[in-house]
Chain A
């Protein structure tokens, strides 16, 4: 079974600075997908960024980028130029390449607070 570990329950950062959220996972599969989701106080889970395991290039989405280290099974999220609206719970998630046998496994989350 896959597991996803987020070792930082809470983090804080000053507005406009950069912060990195950690995520590690465990799997025996070779092809899979990784995601970072954001859950603001409104509770809406919103996809931030995704990475295909077969791609070596790290995914980037505006101020959000990942450092994907497949051998180390590490998938960290970097938020540049942090904004107050980035305050939220951030969840790392793993999805197997199972076609119709879908499984999306989440970590426990990291509560990020951006301070003015």
Chain B
């Protein structure tokens, strides 16, 4: 139990489906992040939210749409994905101060068929 919870743990979706990934942190942090982890690639930072405001969009395709309604919750809305979007999606949170590490959830294993 790390304080960052992601649901669902596994998701299989067709290319025409719409689904959402959910992340919730119970650590009182003020920043949340989405990372994509593909095989044989470094973790890719997708989005950063500081105090509910998006401060980073790392050239992510528009078929990924983040939403941060409050500092404890983060969503990633998915639509018309491609098979190459299959990956492990990790959510993380941190406190925006110096010398702070990110705390990660267990991830959602997404398969696009």
Contact = CB atoms under 8 A, between A and B. Distances in A.
Interface residues of B, number: 27
Contacts of B45: 103-105
Interface string A84-116: 000000010001010111111111110000000
A91 B106 CA distance: 15
A102 B50 contact: yes
Interface of B: 2, 31, 33, 40-43, 45, 48, 50, 55-56, 88, 90, 92, 94, 96, 98-99, 101-107, 109
B43 A102 contact: no
B42 A33 contact: no
Nearest to B98: A97
26 contacts: A4-B42, A35-B101, A37-B104, A43-B109, A44-B106, A45-B90, A45-B92, A47-B103, A50-B101, A52-B99, A91-B43, A100-B55, A100-B96, A101-B55, A102-B33, A102-B48, A102-B50, A102-B96, A103-B56, A104-B33, A105-B45, A106-B42, A106-B43, A107-B42, A108-B40, A108-B41
Interface residues of A, number: 26
A5 to B, nearest CB: 10
B107 A43 contact: yes
Interface in A40-73: 42-47, 50, 52
A33 B98 CA distance: 9
Given A43-B107, A44-B2, A45-B90, A104 B42 contact: no
A100 B33 CA distance: 13
Given A95-B101, A105-B42, A109-B42, 13 more contacts: A33-B99, A35-B101, A43-B88, A43-B106, A43-B107, A44-B104, A50-B99, A99-B96, A100-B50, A102-B94, A103-B56, A104-B45, A108-B42
